Each structure stands twice: as C-alpha cells, then as structure tokens.
Structure 1
Amino acid sequence: MADPLVLVVVAFAGGAFGAAVGGLEAFSVAGLLVVVGEAVNLASESVPDPSGVTAALGSSGLTATLGLGPLFGPHVAFAGGAAAAAFAARQGYLDTDFRYHEAKNVTYALGPRADVMAVGGAFGVVGVGLAYGSAGLGLPWDPIAFSIVVSGVLHRVALGYPLIGTVRGDGVLDMTPFERRIRRSPRADGGVVDRSGVDSEGTTGGERRFAVEPWLPHQYEWGQVAVLGAVVGVLGAFVTYRTASPFLAFGVAATTLLFLCVGVERFPVTHHVALVSSLAVVGLAGGATTSAGLSADVNLLVALLVGAVFGVVTALVGELAQRLLYAHADTHLDPPAVAIVVGTALIALLDLVGVFEQALVPTLGL
C-alpha cells in the first residue's frame, strides 16, 4: 500500500462497501477477519510486528492488511458507513422503525445507491488519511480509533448536524429523561421537514424521538457498565496471556456484534474493553510477544487484575463519551472509539513514565 493512489482507491472502495452493507455489519466483518488473521498467526507462530503497518497497532498478516487495513478496517468501512447513514438520513432516504434519529442507524444496509456509496467512500479515504497521519506523527493512542472519532466529528459538521445537540434533563450526563420515556417536541431539523430523519411534521406522542437517546438502551447504567468492563477486561487479559495475541479478544468481541445487527436484544458491546485490556497486559509484560514470555514476566492473577482495572476504566470512559457525544446528538459518534483512544493514551503514558513497556501503541517516537 505504498502507492498513495492505490491506498486512496482501496479506501474509497472500503468506505463505499461500509455504506452499502451497513456500518456495524462492516465492523463485524472486520472483527471476523481479525479472528481469522490471529488464528493464522497463532498457527504459524507469527507475532505482531511493530515495524509493519504502523496505522494498525503493529499487527501483522491478515489482521493488518484486512481486518485493520485500508479496505475493511473500522476507520474505513465502519466510519464510511456511519457517515453514509448520516447523509442518507439528511436526504430523506431512511424510513425505518429505528427508535432514534435515522442518522444514528448504523446497522441499516443502505444498498447500492451511488450517492450514498460515494459519501461512504469519501469518508473511507478520510479515515485512512487520519489513521496514517496519526501513526506517522507517533501520536500516543490507537490511530484507528482516533480516526473513527475525528471522522465522526467531521461528518457531523460537514452534513449540517449539531456537534453536541440540545441537552435535555439536568445536564449532559442525565439519562433520566429516557428512563421516564420523555419525548421531544415535533420539529424539523434545520427547517427541512421529512428529509432529515427527525420527527416529521404532524408526528405525535409515542412516534416522536426520545428526549435523550442513550447509545445502548440496555447498557448505560454506571454500575452495570463497570461490572461488564471488569468481566470483559479479565476475558481480554486471559486470552492475551494464553495466546500472546493482543487482538484476538477484540476480534471475537467485534464479530459478535453481528448479533446486534440481526436484532438480538440486550447484546452487550465490548470490543473496546477487550482491546484495551489486552494491550495493557502486553505493556505490563514488557512487550512480550509469546505466551511463554508473558508467563515468564507476569503472574496470571496480576495480569487478570490489570485487565479488569483497564476494562472498568475503558467501559466507564465509553459511557461518559456516549453521554457527552451521542445521547443528545443526531448522528453516530462512536463511544467505543473514544474509549479506545483514551485507554490506549493511558497505556502510552504508562509506557512513557516507565511503568509499561510496549511497542504497539505509538508514544510520540520516544
């Protein structure tokens, strides 16, 4: 992918693919490719190569080239699909039974509509540029998650949606209006009726949008989120400790989001927790790349405890992000991506101060 033109063409195709099949479906495909890639690496005793594709957290093989690469990578296909959903809602193409603003409907396959795919493709290119730029500068966080966050902000602003939205209730963190099932007053978004995915003229009662829209209506209470984070943090740490793969638990968690795509209710979203807890174990073990090296450097119980701590922190950051950037807004700005940025930034900071030692998360070249 050294040729910039090839990279642009591939990224455009990846973003257009994400628009056609749906952002979350595309993300699940990326997760499946990561699982396959890590399985191949484990079978061949390959290890992550920090000198390889720097925008893909130093991963190698199929994980780097496909699962986290410029075609199916989340910063391309998922981010392109999210931008396309916002565009399609603005154009009035979406009329589903989705309970929130249609621009947040990242599980809906938009199909082969040329203008929608073009928007997805454009943001696929933006995603690759952001990821490679972040990695090239050595910015201290996951370049892919950073790209998803910035892409989400850009498509929100570029398509004319409010950056935060109107805050209802007792402040930006208050989810009680949703719990009380308070609805918004009918309105047109930007003065355009029936073309924005917002309550159309004449909409009444239970047909109107909720006043506050938590990212996951079954996963937003602080205590439950923390417990889930601890559980998945242990899971990620154990998988990494036994396989030396910092991406396998993430791939499994991302793949399972297919259950959300097909309508399984109350299915938890945990890939952000799995990734950060896995990377923390690698950092704790001094960047060890084999299971033998991990077990030689770190006691399993200690690794599990560190995974749990990072799991809780990452899960709570994701919840904070959804309350700040999703619940009051009109488009999908990905809370897990924000959590990964913060979690990996913490890992990079601990590396810089000498607590951790790793080479997967950039550290400003230090």
Structure 2
Amino acid sequence: MFTASVGILLFGLVLACAGGAVGAAIGANYAFVLTGVCVLASWGVFAATGSTVGFDYLAFGPFMGPHVAFAGGVAGAAYAAYRGYVDDAKDINSPLAGLGRPDVLLAGAVFGALGYLGQAGISRVPWFGTHTDSVALTVLVSAFLARCLFGGAPGRGLMRGSLLNRDALPSGVQGLARLRPGENGRWLQWQERPAQVVTIGVMFGAFAGGAALFLAANVGAHLAGRGLAPNLAAANANTFAFGISAVIILFLITNRSMPVQHHVTNIAGLAAVQFFPLLEGSSFADYTWTATSSWQSGAWLSAVGAVGLAALFGTMTAFLAEAAARLWHNRGTSHIDPPAASIWLGNTVVVSVAALLS
C-alpha cells in the first residue's frame, strides 16, 4: 500500500521512523500488544467495509507493524545496552523512554525505517515475496542486524557483536547437546519441554484453525454478497487469532507464565484456510467461500481435516520457535525473536506446500 509511488513511499518512511521510535519508547513487547489491538480493530473495519486499510497501515504497516514498532523496540534495547544505559539487552518489556536518552529512541526510529524498507523489498522478490511472511522475516533480519551492530561489549565499537555468544555455551559438550537450555537467558522455561510444546501446538493450533475457517467462510460470504472477492476474508483470516495471542503478551509482561503462541495461531490459521479448499477439491485462488450455515456434511468433514492440519502445522511452528530460541536467543546477547523466525519458516512451508498441491 505504501509503495505505489515515490511520494507514498517517502510518506510511509516518515511514519515508520515515528513508529520505530514509539516502539522503543514504550518497549517492544508493549508495542506488540498494541499490534494485537490494532489487528482486532482492523477486523471490525474489514468485516464492516471490506477495506484492508487497518491491516495495511495500522496493524502491519508503519503504525504498529511488528517490523517497525516491535523491531524498533528490540533494536532500542540492544543499543541501550551497548551504550551502557541498561544491563540486559534481552529485556524487551521495559519502556525505554524512562531512560531519558533521546538517542535510544532515535535508534528505534532508524530501525523502524529499515524495517519498513526491508519488508517492502522482501515482499517484491519474485516468487519468494509472495510465498513467505515478509513482516516476520524482516523482524528476524532486523534483530540480526541489531545484534551484529550493538551486541558486543558496551562501548567497544560498532559491529563487534555476533549471532552467538560463545561464552554462554557449555564447555565439554559437543553437537546438539550444546543447545540444551541453560541458565543464561532462557526464552520460556515453562514452555521448552517437548510435551508442553506439542500440547500448545495442537490445542492453540486447533483453536486458531477453527476461528480462521469460520471467518473465511462467513465474512467471506458476506463480502462476496457485496461484490468483493470471495477469498478476501480468507487471505486475512489467520490474523484474528494471532491478534488475540498478541494481546495475551500483555499478561506475560505482568510476570505471569503465559503461553507465547502467536506463531502457532498465525500459521495454524493460515494452514486451515490454505488446505480447506484443497480438501474440497479446489484451490485457494479458485475456491468460493460460502457461509457455514450452507455447508453440507462433506464440507464439515473437510473442516475437521483442515483443523487437524492446523494442529499439525501449529505443532511444527511451536517446535521451530523453540529451536530458534535455543539457536539464537538463549546463547545471544540481545533479543532475536523466536516466534518471528518460526512464523517466517512456517508460512513459507505452508504456502509452498499448498501451492504445490493446488
């Protein structure tokens, strides 16, 4: 939406600078909670009008897009630790405005602008840009850049960081055993055991898959009756449960052991709406969504299958996040978001597999 012309691109760039600074000021996780609020508000606008302006600008654009506001907060925390203002660059809960340091907010602004430009560029890569989640990938790349720039010892100069802090790796252990959770910066201690990962993946995956199917069908049928594309709702259906999951982060910030599962609900909802048309003998691009009240028994059986696939891909995504946490986050000096890595990989797998089967 914000790349249709040079003027619009520059307008969005200015807004992204402000969005990144706001993300740093209020803290990355608070910014992400507001992303969830914007997603839910955007669904109201979308269901009533058929306009995606809320998704394009508010939730996933330069206002509160994770690649702008959340990424700006992550980079601001890394920069603040690099300058010696804070002790923990992984603390993405604390609002950085309380430091009274304008340069921290300006660092967030710079990364907000970089996130905006990066996402616009990724989304235009032939084939890949339409077969991945460019927002999640931009969040990941932005965090990599912040760690490489600011991840070294405070005051030792730029570009002294690395993706892994070798000092945090256990000695005398080789291979994958070195990635077992340690005491240094574990991501979510209550969510790292395989049985818990599976349970969260299956249950939250089914939870999101069912919601996405109902929204795709019923809102899609409503919008189609107004002359809009019948799969317009399906294209955005995975964001609703994702928005709910993002709001849940607010309770995590208040020191509650909440499950972090927005990566699960995002990809599970996507899987449900991508594979339901295939189970109905069609493809996502060609399927005409109808209200669930008119579904026959065959469609309901397809819905059960789609929810089962949502649970399967939700579980896959939950394991990908834990793997990313052990690979980059736990052993690093700054926050590299495990859910963003998981969403990027999970989206690419789901969309690519669905395209191959179409």
Band the TM-score falls in, shorter-chain normalisation = 0.7 to 0.9
Cα shift at 1:281 = 1.2
Residue 103 (str. 1) matches residue 89 (str. 2): yes
SS at match of 2:187: coil
Paired amino acid for 1:9: V
Distance 1:110 1:13, change over 3 A: same
2:334 corresponds to which of 331, 335, 342: 331
2:25 corresponds to:
20
- 1:186 aligned partner: none
Show the counterpart of 1:76: 68
Q: CA deviation at 1:149?
A: 0.7
Whether the 8 Å contact between 1:172 and 1:324 is mirrored in structure 2 is: no
Matched, 1:149 2:113: no
What are the residue-to-residue correspondences of 1:253-268 with 2, within 5 Å?
253-264=245-256, 266-268=257-259
Structure 1, gaps ≥5 residues long: 48-59, 96-101, 179-209, 356-366
* Residues 181 and 326, structure 2, Cα contact 8 Å, conserved in 1: no
Partner of 1:224: 196
The answer to whether the 8 A contact 1:19-1:120 is kept is: yes
Give the match for residue 311 of structure 2. Answer: 308
Which position in structure 2 is the counterpart of 1:42?
A: 47
- How many correspondences in the alignment? 303
Name the counterpart of 2:205: 233
Alpha-carbon distance in 2 for matches of 1:291, 1:82: 42
- Contact in 2 for aligned 1:165/1:330 (Cα 8 Å): yes
Q: Deviations over 1:60-102 (max 9, x none)?
A: 231221011112100000011001000101112125xxxxxx1
Any idea what the Cα deviations from partners look like across 1:122-165, whole Å, max 9, x if unmatched? 11111111111111114231000010111111111112322111
- Whether the aligned pair in 2 keeps the contact of 1:243 and 1:291 (CA below 8 Å) is no
The answer to whether the Cα contact below 8 Å between 1:241 and 1:291 also exists between their aligned partners in 2 is no
Give the equivalent residue in structure 2 for 1:207.
Answer: none
Identity %: 33
The 8 Å contact of residues 168 and 328 in structure 1, kept in 2 or not, is answered as no
Query: Could you list the runs of 5+ residues in structure 2 that have no partner in the other structure?
Result: 151-159, 217-236, 278-282
What amino acid maps onto 1:313 in structure 2?
A: M
- How far apart in 2 are the matches of 1:10 and 1:43? 26
Residues 176-255 of structure 1 mapped to structure 2, 5 A cutoff:
178=182, 210=183, 212-244=184-216, 245-255=237-247
Q: Measured at CA, do residues 162 and 295 of structure 1 come closer, stay the same or move farther in structure 2, by a change above 3 Å?
A: farther
| Cα drift, residue 292 of structure 1 | 2.5
CA spacing shift, 1:319–1:177, aligned 2, 3 Å = closer
Q: Give the Cα separation in 2 of the matches to 1:289 and 1:64.
A: 24
The alignment status of 1:129 with 2:117, answered yes or no, reads yes
In the TM superposition, residue 249 of structure 1 has moved relative to its aligned partner by 0.4
CA change 1:127–1:64 in 2 (3 A) is same
Structure 2 counterpart SS, 1:322: helix
Question: Which position in structure 1 is the counterpart of 2:164?
Answer: 164
Say yes or no: does 1:4 pair with 2:9: yes
Q: Contact between 2:24 and 2:72, CA under 8 Å: does it hold in 1? A: yes
> Bigger CA drift: 165-174 or 65-74?
165-174
Measure the CA separation in 1 of the matches of 2:161 and 2:32: 24
Judging changes above 3 Å, is the alpha-carbon distance between structure 1 residues 105 and 69 closer, same or farther for their aligned structure 2 residues? same
Deviates more, 1:156-165 or 1:251-260: 156-165
Mapped to 2, the partners of 1:336 and 1:40 lie a distance apart of 27
Separation in 1, partners of 2:351, 2:344: 10
State whether structure 2 residue 265 is matched by structure 1 residue 274: yes
**What is the CA distance between 1:39 and its match in structure 2?**
2.6
* Partner residue in 1 for 2:219: none
Deviation at 1:12, TM superposition (A): 0.6
Cα distance in structure 2, aligned partners of 1:353 and 1:149: 26
Per the normalisation by structure 1, the TM-score is 0.78
**One-letter identity of the residue aligned with 1:216:** L
Aligned to 2:224: none
CA deviation after TM superposition for structure 1 residue 168, in Å: 1.8
Deviation at 1:348, TM superposition (A): 2.4
Kindly indicate whether the alpha-carbon contact (under 8 Å) linking 1:20 and 1:113 is maintained by their aligned counterparts in 2: no
The alpha-carbon distance between structure 1 residues 341 and 117, as it changes in their structure 2 partners (threshold 3 A), is same
2:108 counterpart letter in structure 1 = G
Instruction: Give the residue type in structure 1 aligned to 2:170.
Output: R
What TM-score, normalized by structure 2, do the two folds share?
0.80
Amino acid paired to 1:339 = S
CA distance in 1: counterparts of 2:335 and 2:176, whole angstroms: 17
CA contact (8 A) 2:180 2:326 kept: no
